Structure formats: C-alpha cells, structure tokens
Amino acid sequence: MPARLIDGKAVAAEVLARVRAAVVRLTAGQRPPPTLATILVGDDAASQIYVRNKRRTCEEVGIGSRSHNLPADVAQSRLLELIGALNAADDVDGILVQLPLPPHIDTTEVIEYIRADKDVDGFHPYNVGRLAQRIPALRPCTPAGVIELLCHTGETFYGRDAVVVGASNHVGRPMALELLLAGATVTVCHRFTRDLAAHVQRAEILVAAVGKPGLIRGDWVRQGATVIDIGISRLADNRLTGDVQFEAASQRAAWITPVPGGVGPMTVAMLMHNTVEAAQRRRAR
C-alpha cells in the first residue's frame, strides 16, 4: 500500500494558529506584539524569497517585523554593530540573520554575537548545548518542525531506530539531538559513512538532510518506515525535489513527506513559535 503523505502545510497551519492565539494573549491590554528582526545580507535570490516569506508570515500571525537589508559587501563590524543594537533593543524579541552569509563574513562570530535568548533560529551554541543536555531552550527550527510532523503521525520514539542522513550544524546534528531527546536510538550518517544503504535499510524513522536529489534510493527504505525528507534541491526543469526517491520510497514507507509541502512550511512556523516563546520568556522575567 502506498505511504500516507505527511501534510506539512496543514501541520504548519495548526502551529501558526497556536502562535496567533499566543500573540493575542501577549498583546492583551495594549501590550506591544512580539517582534522579530530579520537581517538579510546581499541579494541572493533564494535568501530573498525565504526572508520575504518569514516577514509575510509575521504579519499573518500578528508578530511585529523589523527588516534590515544590508549590501553584500557590508563589513563584519557593521553587521555586528546592528546585531548589538538589536540585542539591546527592548522592543525586539527575536533576531534572525538569514544564512548563508557572503564568504567574507565570519558566520560563527555572527551567530555567537546574537543574544542567546533572542536567537530564534536556535543556532547559538548555548541553545544547541541546551538541547544536547536535555534542557532545551530555543530549539533549531527545522528539526523542531520535524518532531512536530512525527508527533502528528502518532509516531512513538522510545527505542525506535532513527537514522539521520546529513550532519550539518544547523540541520542534521540538532535533528539527531531532537530524536535522542525523544527517546529514539539514533544513527547519524555523513559524507564518510560506509554503506549508507545498510543504515537506511534499518531505519524505522528516516530523516534525510543532505541536498542531493535522489541520494536515498526508494528500494533502500524499510517496509513501514516513516520518511522525512528535509532536502530541497532545484532541478534543471525548475522543479523542487528532495533527497529521497519519492515514488519508489512511497511504495515501502508507511508515512512520507512530500517536497515541497513537507518540512519547508514547518521551518517558518517553528520560527514564529520561537519568536513568541522568546517574548514570553523575556516578559516573564
């Protein structure tokens, strides 16, 4: 029987409805809305689309949005100065610097400069460290969104074999930490993994986060597995595709995310969730 589709748009809409309700509570009595500052450096077309989408979603859920667009040749010191001002601004709850940054910018220094309690992307070493120590604060958006999707399928995590393919700082690694926190037995595969097929074949929960179309062959997928495809690549004919061979994998999996319409909408929804959470934590102090 073909797999059931995990509808990321529908689950994201549920998350955004909860965010909207939280914003209404936070703004009761004329209090200011939670506010997200976004910083876009340069004119990369994909980054422009992502940032526009984030800014638009802020409007839809009632989150205040402050937009900062800097030229591609901006100096590191100027970018840090802006982040410093946003760190200090009482009316800013979350700061997002759209990645990737131009090569002359030190991305690690930029991420570490953002105040951890305003780091709504969840990339700051403090927030990743909290997740590693099972005391999560602001969680990296895409992995947190994947956990929401898995919960939506009724997935149980305890003792399940989960395999994450991809080990980047922002996606694969925190994904593995989320699954470990949830109680799964986690394997992380990367460029140097020997026999990727053997690991994939064992996975009851498979999460692909590489960015190589069709890297995961459909006939590797374990019968009845839940397959989450985070990868997004644009093909020559302009279509978007994931890392997993979708058609063949669908014949074996129990649940599978489409690309697009799977994980993508969840990332933005979790960013909104994190902005509200950051505001709630700051206002509770």
Q: How many other C-beta atoms are found inside a 10 Å radius of the C-beta of residue 56?
A: 11
- From the candidates 93, 98, 118, 229, give the one annotated as an active-site residue: 98
Considering beta carbons, is residue 94 or 174 the nearer one to ligand NAP? 174
Considering beta carbons, is residue 92 or 188 the nearer one to ligand NAP? 188
* C-beta nearest to ligand NAP: residue: 211
Contact 39, 79 (CB under 8 A): yes
Residue 175: CB minimum distance to ligand NAP, A = 9
Residue 98 appears among annotated catalytic residues: yes
Strands (E), the chain: 4-5, 35-41, 64-70, 94-97, 161-165, 185-189, 205-208, 226-229, 233-234, 240-241, 255-256
Contact 22, 280 (CB under 8 A): yes
- From the candidates 93, 117, 119, 121, give the one annotated as an active-site residue: 121
Residue 167: CB minimum distance to ligand NAP, A = 4
Q: Could you tell me which of 30, 255, 268 has the C-alpha nearest to residue 141?
A: 268
Considering beta carbons, is residue 144 or 210 the nearer one to ligand NAP? 210
> What does DSSP say about strands 161-165 and 205-208: parallel, antiparallel, or unpaired?
parallel
Contact 224, 2 (CB under 8 A): no
Residues that bind ligand NAP (CB under 6 A): 142, 165-168, 170-172, 189-193, 196, 209-212, 215, 230-233, 263-264, 267
Residue 249: CB minimum distance to ligand NAP, A = 16
What torsion do the CA atoms of 169, 172, 173, 178 make, to the nearest 10 degrees? 130
Residue 230: CB minimum distance to ligand NAP, A = 4
Look-up of token digits 């780091």: 119
Residue 54 appears among annotated catalytic residues: yes
Considering beta carbons, is residue 33 or 145 the nearer one to ligand NAP? 145
Active-site residue list: 54, 98, 121
